[in-house]
Structures are given as structure tokens and as C-alpha cells.
Amino acid sequence: MIFNNYSLDDCAEATGTVVVIDVLRAFSCTAFAFGAGVNSVWLVGEVEQAFALGAQMPDALLMGEVGSKRVEGFDFGNSPAELVGLDLRGRRMIQRTSNGTQGMVRCQRAQTILAGSFCCARSTVDFIRRQNPSTLSFVITGYGPDGRGDEDVALAEYMAALLRGESPDPEPYLGRVRNSVIGRRFPDPNWPDFPPADLPCCTDLDRFDFAMPVERRDDLLVMTRGADSR
């Protein structure tokens, strides 16, 4: 299997099977949302789209952020810890974030799209193995200046190692999440939009036993909880 990495700048070129990664925190949030019983997450690029879609789905919950801050009028921000212990069975969610959902909406040429999170890394690898693509592309949505995005690169490298049949020690990869540019904000009181409880959620390796595939329904992108892999 050949592995390719893309960023938000060039992921529109990605074809075939694509894993869009946002460890901190968009797709950790979706994993926890499915864990709370949500049945689908509808992905959009703009806040206005989220509100417009929400008007068509009055039962839907809105989740996401702009500049790491919860959007006024959204039900949830970009915090997986917010979702712990909630009963959201049967609910739909609409998500807009600054990195994760942007990668999703830009991957127009991909045939198979998955969301990437350490919370369901092995189940995502199992899904990919069943697909058996010749090439797999990772979209590093957190990539930016000053070394940003290493948490997403760490997941891509960890999953690639698993797909090569290796048995990597996960701790160095999870350590890169904690020590990444964004990861270091969570224990820092100077960053109130990064609650400390989020970091252990985002590094809770294989907490969930499902992948998060995304399908196109007309002009919309819908993420669902894949079949349990255990």
C-alpha cells in the first residue's frame, strides 16, 4: 500500500481512499458523539450552512467552532469532554470546524472518505484493510506554521505502521499529541478555549470500536458510525 500525505491546501487533489485527520479536536468530538448515541454527523464548511441545514432539521444539534471558540447559537463547541456521559441516542448533529470539516468538504475527488481519530484508530485501520486500496491518502488538517499539525501526522504514521503489519508502541505517537503546539494549550490556563479534560479524551486510544465513514448525499457530506469491529 502506498501512503500519501496532503494538507488543506492540496487535499482537493486526493483520490481513492482518504482519511481526513483532525485529532485536536473535530474528529475526536465526532467519535464521542457517536459514543453518546448520535446516529449521523452532517459536515459543512461554513457557519451559515450549519444554521441553514439546522433550520431544515429542527431535531439536529449543532457542534463546532470558529477560531477555537464555540459559535453563538451552537449546542456544542469543539470539546469531546462536553459529550462524555450524555445520552444523545437517535439525534443528528451538524458540525462545522476550522480544520476537520474543511478537509472533508475539499476532498471532492475522493471515492472513500473516513474521519481519523486516535479514539478509533484500529477500527479505522480494520475498515481500510477490508477495502484493501492500493493507495491511501491522509489529510493533515492541522498542518500549519511553527510545527503545527504534528498530532495529525502522528496518527497518520501510527495507522500506516499498523497497515504495514507492524506492532508499534502507541505511547510515542500519543506523546506527540500531548507535546504538539496545540496539545500544549490544554493544561495552560492562558488558553481557556482548550479545556484540560479534552486532551485525555483525544488520546484515549481505541476507546471506540467503530470507524467513521463519510458518504455524499446529494451535495451534503454525512458521517456515520461504522459497524463495530470487535
Look at residue 94 and tell me if it is in a domain: yes
Q: Across the strands, what pairs with 3?
A: 136
In the prediction, which pLDDT does 227 show?
72
- pTM listed for this prediction: 0.96
If 0-12 CB within 10 Å is exposed, 13-18 middle and 19+ buried, where does residue 133 land? middle
In the prediction, which pLDDT does 85 show?
96
Mean pLDDT value across residues 32-50: 98
Q: What percent of the chain has pLDDT over 90?
A: 95
Domain that holds residue 172: 2-221
Question: What digits encode the pLDDT tens for the residues 108-131?
Answer: 999 999 999 999 999 999 999 999
* Residue keyed to cell 439525534: 91
Question: What digits encode the pLDDT tens for the residues 167-219?
Answer: 999 999 999 999 999 999 999 999 999 999 999 999 999 999 999 999 999 88
Side chain identity at residue 134, one-letter code: S
Look at residue 184 and tell me if it is in a domain: yes
Q: How many domains does the chain have?
A: 1
Instruction: At 87, list the grid cell.
Output: 445520552
Look at residue 124 and tell me if it is in a domain: yes
Mean pLDDT for all residues in the chain: 96
In the prediction, which pLDDT does 23 show?
98
Look at residue 83 and tell me if it is in a domain: yes
Distance (Å, whole) CA 93 – CA 64:
10
Distance (Å, whole) CA 63 – CA 73:
10
Mean pLDDT value across residues 21-38: 98
Look at residue 230 and tell me if it is in a domain: no
**Is the distance from CB of 22 to CB of 142 less than 8 angstroms?**
yes
Instruction: At 223, list the grid cell.
Output: 458521517
Instruction: Evaluate if residue 230 carries a pLDDT over 80.
Output: no
Residue 81 phi/psi, 5-degree rounding, is: -65, -25
Instruction: Evaluate if residue 146 carries a pLDDT over 70.
Output: yes
* Residue 91 banded pLDDT, cuts 50, 70, 90: very high
Look at residue 226 and tell me if it is in a domain: no
Mean pLDDT value across residues 152-156: 98
Provide the CATH number for the domain around residue 60.
Answer: 3.90.1560.10
Q: How far apart are the first and last CA of the chain?
A: 24
Look at residue 199 and tell me if it is in a domain: yes
Length of the chain: 230
In the prediction, which pLDDT does 212 show?
98
Q: How many CB atoms lie within 10 A of CB 168?
A: 14
Look at residue 97 and tell me if it is in a domain: yes
Distance (Å, whole) CA 173 – CA 176:
5
* Residue 228 banded pLDDT, cuts 50, 70, 90: low
